[in-house]
């Protein structure tokens, strides 16, 4: 997913991007058991300067296909916002 223009870097917008990311992942891949928002956005800390990252931990059902090949993904959405996804499987 890429954004055409940088969104306003406020916490409600960043949380909406996080929710939308989880919803899209669930629709496209399935097997997502839970998602956790962590880091500065979860702690309600304002973005530093003109950039922000959205840290999500995604817990997957290991018995279903579609789990990511890598445990970590850094996905730039635009020049100002980056998604930092960490993938784990349920124990």
User: Would you say 39 and 55 are in contact if contact means Cβ atoms under 8 Å apart?
Assistant: yes
Give the angle 89-39-75 at the CA atoms, nearest 5°: 65
Q: How confident is the model at residue 4 (pLDDT cuts 50, 70, 90)?
A: low
Q: How far apart are CA 35 and CA 14, in angstroms?
A: 15
For the segment 21-67, what is each residue's pLDDT rounded down to a tens digit? 999 988 887 788 999 999 999 999 988 888 899 999 999 887 666 66
Give this prediction's pTM: 0.81
For 1-91, where are the E strands, in sequence order?
A: 32-38, 52-60, 72-76, 81-89
Q: How confident is the model at residue 90 (pLDDT cuts 50, 70, 90)?
A: confident
Token pair of 73 as six digits = 């993904």
């Amino acid at each position: 997913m890429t954004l055409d223009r940088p969104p306003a870097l406020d916490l409600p917008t960043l949380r909406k991007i996080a929710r939308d990311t989880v919803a899209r992942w669930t629709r496209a891949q399935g097997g997502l058991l839970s998602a956790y928002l962590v880091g500065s956005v979860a702690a309600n800390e304002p973005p530093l300067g003109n950039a922000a990252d959205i840290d999500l931990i995604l817990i997957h059902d290991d018995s279903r296909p579609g789990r990511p090949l890598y445990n970590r993904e850094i996905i730039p959405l635009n020049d100002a916002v980056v998604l930092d996804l960490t993938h784990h499987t349920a124990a």
